[in-house]
Structure 1
């Protein structure tokens, strides 16, 4: 009996010793996982390159410097298969999705503009009649704010997490490229006014621009670049990744050198369609870092920058033009200077940066046909007119189609609700008619999308892009490389990979070097940043954190 008692006593001591050792290990482990202070970078920089197809990372790779795009890929982590999970793939939707982790169905930005069936008016994504221009003479260009965006952004969540001590600024040539990323609670958003050459904001943010912006505006730097004209960075005959210099399907005068001197003090807007538009954007970004002391203390700041000149050049000349190639080679050099500035001003290892795009772009139909590849164009006006004529002839309903826009058909509900024919019958007939039009692959009644035979990826993207209070009634899908536009230049907006496959590279604080080919989505960017910063996800977030980018 004594032996048994002694054995039990010994086992209890051993158990206590083991438990004590385990507790110590747990405490040590907990100390490692949960440090005394939450570690964060001093500055987060978001770079959105407007209309940058994923393949541009590699199409011009051999000509990039070591300090621009190559530095991002070599030092950072590239998420190679990142896709947009909704349609239409437009600028406003893309910038909003990146920063909200959400989709148009939730955040409400369903296009650059849309028709509001409730107010029966066209709506521009950032329009706000309650605010006015700051930094220039009164103009509709300044009557802008984020009020039409229904959710918070990752930048808003940073402001909340730091009790509004962390600064947030947005900068872009486009109002929508600066306002939507900066969020509702931003300290400032600045965009370019083409009529004056000024960087402006609105009374939503402030009553007057700070001195550093006012002084920068006085320089009228567009004139400096106009005086240089636009010549190729390298000898013209070395642009082997592009078509010939002059093509009839390029929408603008496309012969180098491009003469710009005629714009001096006259047409400040013209700089948007040159690579210099990106240069002045990044110059202002550097000045903002310096003047606003971004990244100078232990409270994380956020600078959201969108380089829009790539979009204007792409629309004008197309993805295969020498103009597009030269623009990316120049942007690469601008990025090298910008990254070096961040290293000097904030400190290498003190900032986190990510680069992505709001959408891609289709090849120009003229280029495709020249190379025996399928392509074509349709017109919103023609679609609406043809459908109205068909419905009038079949049902004797006059002009029941209000608009064709954003790949959607919008009906006049005053007529469909009061007519002798049911709305379901009108929609069903419309769907069948649209399917037979040249360039159309399919059309669906959005309210019945679950019952269609569309590919699952198309169903997902259309559903994610549909906002019940702002979207239309029928969605149509065009054949690959057909788009809504003209016969020159290019555009975007469809579900296809050339419009929806985007680059995504993280670099800097908290990011390991590497790459993944696992499929991720644009909606994953914001929750990834939230996880990295240990802050809450945006209020409409539907994405997931990309855990591959860090060892944590």
Structure 2
């Protein structure tokens, strides 16, 4: 593998510190028009937001003895640790999570109610970052037809761009498009995500640019992705991985072409039957590649090189793919976090050298947690299981036919929401509220459904605690369904192997929140904090306007 520091240095020299960058509204272009002297209250040159996809809070403590001093422990030992940090809404998915972290509000206001959700206007499922009005940049594949157009509020990155008259840059980086696009916001200079398959390149969208900057082209040509198609074995002796379950068990998925989900994994060989370069996403090397690219972006785009604050949003997505595949108690997830810790150390050392110690501010959190594999929980006598959606749908259709003479009165069922066809209700001479209530009571009678609420209730009641309050914070009147379902604790609609997420329960809502660097106190708290608090806190630190829909509070106790 080519040494990433050499790669970054070469890119830096070749591109004269990104003077050939094709990103829109670059700092050099605006400065040439009219110099602007803007400094933040705290003198932070660069804000680095880090989201670790599917990171439960207990990964900080469970794997603590395996971490070095320069990654997670550096954030804790030198920064501020919010130990009781939670999502205050459902559903706890990747798209809503990233949007909420950076907008400082919940799906009720920013509108990203799921990764994929039903669009009541066009009566189709849509993707949270989908934009059919833009084109792919860096690939001929449709994977680049993305933008933040479905997110209805600003991010703190947007507010920093507005405050600095567009001189402060904002760039998003993630293996996942939504993990790069939603954090970067509407005014971002660029968002980059990884397109695997047979290409293995970082791409973008015409929403940001017409052509990839030269430094991105050079990175894609450097064979950085190819270098990670190698054998994945545990970093340390597997016998020392005592914080996770047995390597061979019945609760893991694994890769096509390998009989057991056990170390080692020959990724180059397995890539042939696992969507080519996409296999990297489900290994810790996906995080390493993301780190490489983020460092290249810092160098080529001159991030943090003057007194005007820049924002770099980095999302480490491989942790989510590994968790979905192998589960939260696997040797694979432990090794992934041990290796992520080393990537974080490498990244922080690089920022120390390029931006300067004490010159940048970092926060690290997650977009959601994850449940222990229910089949594993069952094996140790913890109540858990799987929802039988096929049987539930069959029974429900019979109810609709018997009650209303048709199943067409329901347009869609997705994300634990039932969408009613209002035109059909009117044509049948029915009352919408009565139909909502009837469907709610029917669903509540089904096995493994613990609670059901109607849109009318969530729109009118004022819940302040419990799952009801979280449902209300995730309920968007224009986009959410007519009936909202809550499954029994630890019961999921998923396969018998691997982990998932999405609920209002602690295993999905309790995630890390660490602040570190310029303007941040050293300390910790067990006081409850919530995800929407992050963006207002960063805005207050920088002395800029809060995101326009922010509902979170400033965590004043973390600011120095």
CA shift for structure 1 position 424: 2.8
How far apart, in 2, do the equivalents of 1:74 and 1:340 lie?
A: 16
The alignment status of 1:256 with 2:267, answered yes or no, reads no
CA shift for structure 1 position 451: 8.1
CA shift for structure 1 position 419: 1.7
Normalised by the size of structure 2, how large is the TM-score?
Answer: 0.89
CA shift for structure 1 position 241: 1.1
Inter-CA distance 472–550: structure 2 relative to 1 (3 Å threshold): same
Match in the other structure for 1:308? 317
How far apart, in 1, do the equivalents of 2:225 and 2:42 lie?
A: 41
Match in the other structure for 2:209? 206
Of 127, 132, 138 in structure 1, the residue corresponding to residue 130 of structure 2 is 127
Inter-CA distance 452–511: structure 2 relative to 1 (3 Å threshold): closer
The alignment status of 1:48 with 2:55, answered yes or no, reads no
CA shift for structure 1 position 37: 7.8
Moved more, 459-468 or 274-283: 459-468
How far apart, in 2, do the equivalents of 1:150 and 1:53 lie?
A: 28
How far apart, in 2, do the equivalents of 1:99 and 1:299 lie?
A: 19
How far apart, in 1, do the equivalents of 2:391 and 2:73 lie?
A: 45
Of 486, 500, 510 in structure 1, the residue corresponding to residue 495 of structure 2 is 486
Of 316, 323, 333 in structure 2, the residue corresponding to residue 324 of structure 1 is 333
CA shift for structure 1 position 489: 1.0
Inter-CA distance 42–455: structure 2 relative to 1 (3 Å threshold): closer
Q: Secondary structure at the match of 2:419?
A: strand
Matches for 1:246-285 after TM superposition, within 5 Å: 246-252=248-254, 253-263=260-270, 267-285=276-294
Runs (4+) of structure 1 exceeding 6 A deviation are 450-455
Of 92, 95, 98 in structure 1, the residue corresponding to residue 98 of structure 2 is 95
Of 385, 390, 393 in structure 2, the residue corresponding to residue 376 of structure 1 is 385
Q: Secondary structure at the match of 2:236?
A: coil
Q: Secondary structure at the match of 1:150?
A: coil
Matches for 1:232-247 after TM superposition, within 5 Å: 232-247=234-249
Alpha-carbon contact 2:271-2:279 (below 8 Å) kept: no
Unpaired runs of at least 5, structure 2: 1-37, 255-259
CA shift for structure 1 position 263: 4.7
Alpha-carbon contact 1:380-1:405 (below 8 Å) kept: no
Q: Secondary structure at the match of 1:518?
A: coil
Alpha-carbon contact 2:39-2:307 (below 8 Å) kept: no
Alpha-carbon contact 2:459-2:477 (below 8 Å) kept: no
**Per-residue CA shift, 1:70-120, capped at 9, x if unaligned?**
111100001111111111000000000000001111111110011111111
Of 513, 527, 534 in structure 2, the residue corresponding to residue 518 of structure 1 is 527
CA shift for structure 1 position 123: 1.0
Normalised by the size of structure 1, how large is the TM-score?
Answer: 0.90
Q: Secondary structure at the match of 1:299?
A: coil
Q: Secondary structure at the match of 1:305?
A: strand
Root mean square deviation of aligned Cα: 1.9
Unpaired runs of at least 5, structure 1: 1-34
CA shift for structure 1 position 234: 1.1
Of 111, 122, 129 in structure 2, the residue corresponding to residue 108 of structure 1 is 111
CA shift for structure 1 position 455: 8.3
CA shift for structure 1 position 40: 2.2
Matches for 1:171-186 after TM superposition, within 5 Å: 171-186=173-188
Inter-CA distance 264–318: structure 2 relative to 1 (3 Å threshold): closer
How far apart, in 1, do the equivalents of 2:318 and 2:79 lie?
A: 25
CA shift for structure 1 position 382: 4.7
How far apart, in 2, do the equivalents of 1:76 and 1:382 lie?
A: 50
Match in the other structure for 1:432? 441
How far apart, in 2, do the equivalents of 1:183 and 1:298 lie?
A: 22
The alignment status of 1:509 with 2:518, answered yes or no, reads yes
Alpha-carbon contact 2:90-2:470 (below 8 Å) kept: yes
Moved more, 433-442 or 204-213: 433-442
CA shift for structure 1 position 438: 1.9
Matches for 1:322-401 after TM superposition, within 5 Å: 322-378=331-387, 380=389, 382-401=391-410
How far apart, in 2, do the equivalents of 1:379 and 1:198 lie?
A: 39
Moved more, 352-361 or 397-406: 397-406
Alpha-carbon contact 1:450-1:459 (below 8 Å) kept: no
How far apart, in 2, do the equivalents of 1:464 and 1:194 lie?
A: 35
Q: Secondary structure at the match of 1:86?
A: coil
- In our comparison, the structure showing a higher alpha carbon Rg is 1
Inter-CA distance 380–175: structure 2 relative to 1 (3 Å threshold): farther
Inter-CA distance 405–36: structure 2 relative to 1 (3 Å threshold): closer
Moved more, 139-148 or 215-224: 215-224
How far apart, in 1, do the equivalents of 2:438 and 2:83 lie?
A: 42
Q: Secondary structure at the match of 2:265?
A: coil
CA shift for structure 1 position 398: 2.5
